[in-house]
Amino acid sequence: MKNNWSQNSAEKYLKKYKNIGFSKDLALRVYTTRLLGRNKELVLHGGGNTSVKTTAKDIDGKKYDVLCVKGSGWDMADIEPEGLPAVKLEPLLALKKKKYLSDEDMVSFQKRNLINIKSPNPSVETFLHAFLPFKFVDHTHADAILNVTNRPGGLKFCNKIFNNKVSVVPYIMPGFKLAKKVNEIYSKNPNINCLILMNHGIFTFGDDAKETYDLMIKYVSQAERAVKKLKVKKIKQINKFSTKFNAHEISPIIRGLLSDNNPDQKFIVNYELNYHIKYFMNRINLRTYSSKGTVQHNHVIRVKTCTLI
């Protein structure tokens, strides 16, 4: 995977955001978040999250240690500082030893500790970012990482690919419970700079924006190389055939059928066709494969749970 860091671009971000009142920390956080978000092999629209630990003034004029973490509704590809709401860090860290926190209480607690209450809701993985004692934390759902983890023997495969700077985390739904598990694993392995979350994605972390981004590219590239070395069995294809209609002829029919079942909703049908889609559609046992769902829970935001064939 190509590393797209540019010192020249980073300097431009620093200058731009300084001129409108934002710190170096936030400028670099915006820059590397966009680098990650604009790579579709790392992040689908709306997925992934990043953070930076810095300081911010509250309405009382005092400076507080804060965690600026991606907010709900923002896309990493075009994020602005407003999309990284500042949450007071000390209250988050005070809950490290708490055994349980419901999703509702977690969201409420995070919102109560926002510097600006009008900010978007902080990420569901806010506590995980807070518990890792590093300035910058990056999280993606990289295709190559999912290719490694979402397979029989995925855990063993991960341990074979990655070095002792990487710890592997069993699958746990995002939220406070996952943050607790990550804190437990990190406490036992404080020399790591990366976490591979089974059936979920990857976290990299460090005290420098470029270092953390570089680590993401490094470990995803390792996963890509490992997958390429595997002997992949060709999937049997059905006999090729051609349809006698064009996309613009069938799309209105599909829209009409969808509207019949959902009279209060309108639909836009987007047509795409390439080698990978053809290979998927023409495979034997398509009915079984097409109903498996997405490879990662966050993909439901854009991909949805099933395929229209």
For the ranges 7-21, 218-232, 240-254, the lowest mean pLDDT is seen at: 240-254
d(CA 141, CA 126) in angstroms, rounded, equals 16
Mean pLDDT of 105-130: 97
For the ranges 6-20, 179-193, 240-254, the lowest mean pLDDT is seen at: 240-254
- For 8, counting Cβ atoms within 10 Å of its Cβ (0-12 exposed, 13-18 middle, 19+ buried), the class is exposed
Q: What is the mean pLDDT of the chain?
A: 92
pLDDT tens, position by position, 57-83: 999 999 999 999 999 989 999 999 999
In the predicted structure, residue 284 carries a pLDDT above the cut 80: yes
Mean pLDDT of 243-251: 84
Question: What is the structure's pLDDT at 164?
Answer: 94
In the predicted structure, residue 277 carries a pLDDT above the cut 90: no
pLDDT-above-70 percentage for the chain: 99
Domains and CATH numbers, the chain: 7-229 (3.40.225.10), 247-301 (no CATH)
For the ranges 131-145, 230-244, 250-264, the lowest mean pLDDT is seen at: 230-244
Question: What is the structure's pLDDT at 48?
Answer: 94
Mean pLDDT of 129-156: 96
pLDDT tens, position by position, 214-240: 999 999 999 999 999 998 888 888 876
pLDDT tens, position by position, 36-45: 999 999 998 8
Question: pLDDT category, 271, cuts 50, 70, 90?
Answer: confident
Question: What is the structure's pLDDT at 235?
Answer: 81
Question: What is the structure's pLDDT at 241?
Answer: 64
pTM: 0.90
Question: What is the structure's pLDDT at 300?
Answer: 79
DSSP line for 51-71? EEEEEEE-TTS-EEEEEEEPB
Question: What is the structure's pLDDT at 7?
Answer: 98
Buried b (16+ CB within 10 A) or exposed e, 210-225: bebbbbbbebbebbbe
d(CA 173, CA 210) in angstroms, rounded, equals 29
| For the ranges 170-174, 251-255, 275-279, the one whose mean pLDDT is highest | 170-174
